Amino acid sequence: MARAKIALIGAGMIGGTLAHVAAREALGDVILFDIAEGTPQGKALDIAEATAVFGSDVSLKGANDYADIAGADVCIVTAGVPRKPGMSRDDLIGINLKVMKAVGEGIKAHAPDAFVICITNPLDAMVWALQKFSGLPKEKVVGMAGVLDSARFAYFLAEKTGVSVQDIHAWTLGGHGDDMVPMVRHSTIGGLPLPDAVAAGLLSQGDLDAIVDRTRKGGGEIVALLKTGSAFYAPAESAIAMAKSYLLDQKRVLPCAVWLSGEYGLSDLYVGVPALLGAGGVEKVIEFTTNDDEKAMFKKSVESVQGLIQACKDIDASLA
Ligand code: APR
């Protein structure tokens, strides 16, 4: 059987890391696309040379022409600009919306059957716009944020409690902003929901509150440290987990920004919820039970996403 073809639109920090991980895992042949000339070609060649060390038969190619993504099974989009210290993800909207238009049209023309994973920020609005610009089926266009935010949450819990990250299942839903919703009751340490883990003395309520706060600001913490860009290792790993679930029909339930049509009482927007990803793309949305507090946090987060979508419509009338 032919290898899968993975097109990475944007060959910057995340794009390069995606190419490296996809090649190491032999997930498929990789096309690294960017408007910058030389960057995708140089990174593709560098990683291609590394395949002789780690022993992977996949091919890698850099490109500046959308024709090279033809027939891609998966497109992962990181094209755009990342945050600098002091910026919020929302500050990127003007520039990155224009980028989504070009990328959406490129995918529509050359890879209309692909499963598309958007990473570009502000995520929930950019994946919404990318779906509109590309016209691809909504179940084939998703946003990567929840896997990353949940991974941060899980890591902080593991660091605090000394329990393996493998035995922590953390869930963060809602939009990919500082008002995201870490789902404390649904997240578990060794099978114990977090309130029970506090009662059992695995961590204090104060520790848990501080971890929830740090999770919400996790992206900004990295931006402040790096000073020249935003996180790239964990975002790339998160998108690879999603791509793998689609390509291998794993049917994993992962928190992703997906198109909602009635689930969680919401319609016509993308926001982070648990979604089953398989060969059909988003095959099912899982609805968590939510109490009044969780509902209120989710509502606030969704209102931020709706504000960003409105800002997109104000910038580009074709989206209205
Ligand atoms: N088409 C293709 N590539 C583009 C375009 C475009 N229209 N505009 C910009 N790019 C490329 C840039 O040339 C650059 O190589 O996108 C790449 C972005 O890479 P980085 O600046 O290194 O950003 P990165 O850290 O990879 O983050 C990308 O993901 O997490 C989000 O907020 C982050 O929106 C940002 C995106």
Among 77, 78, 101, residue to substitute to test ligand 1 (most atoms within 8 Å of Cβ): 78
- How many whole angstroms separate alpha carbon 76 and alpha carbon 142? 10
- How many whole angstroms separate alpha carbon 283 and alpha carbon 276? 6
**Percent of the chain scored above 90 by pLDDT?**
95
Catalytic-role residue among 20, 110, 169, 176: 176
Mean pLDDT score of the chain: 97
Q: Residues 236-280: pLDDT tens digits?
A: 999 999 999 999 999 999 999 999 999 999 999 999 999 999 999
Binding residues: 10-15, 34, 83, 89, 96, 119-121, 152
Residues 214-234, mean pLDDT to the nearest whole number: 96
Which amino acid residue places its CA nearest to atom 5 of ligand 1? 79
Residue 277 confidence (pLDDT): 98
Residue 128 confidence (pLDDT): 98
Query: Where are the extended beta strands (E) located within the chain?
Result: 5-9, 29-33, 60-63, 74-77, 115-118, 141-143, 168-169, 172-173, 181-182, 188-189, 192-193, 252-261, 267-278, 281-285
Residue 136 confidence (pLDDT): 98
Determine if ligand 1 sits within 6 Å of the CB of residue 219. no
pLDDT band at 66; cut points 50, 70, 90: very high
Determine if ligand 1 sits within 6 Å of the CB of residue 79. yes
Residue 86 confidence (pLDDT): 87
Residue 204 confidence (pLDDT): 98
CA 200 / ligand 1 centre spacing (Å): 44
ipTM over 0.90: yes
pLDDT band at 74; cut points 50, 70, 90: very high
Residues 33-38, mean pLDDT to the nearest whole number: 98
**Could you give the domains of the chain?**
5-144 (3.40.50.720), 145-319 (3.90.110.10)
Q: Find the helix packing angle between 93-110 and 123-134, rounded to 10°.
A: 40
176 tagged catalytic: yes
Instruction: Examine the pLDDT at 83 and tell me if it is beyond 90.
Output: no
Residue 122 confidence (pLDDT): 95
Residue 227 confidence (pLDDT): 93
Residue 89 confidence (pLDDT): 86
Facing residues of 137 across strands?
none
Q: Residues 95-127: pLDDT tens digits?
A: 999 999 999 999 999 999 999 999 999 999 999
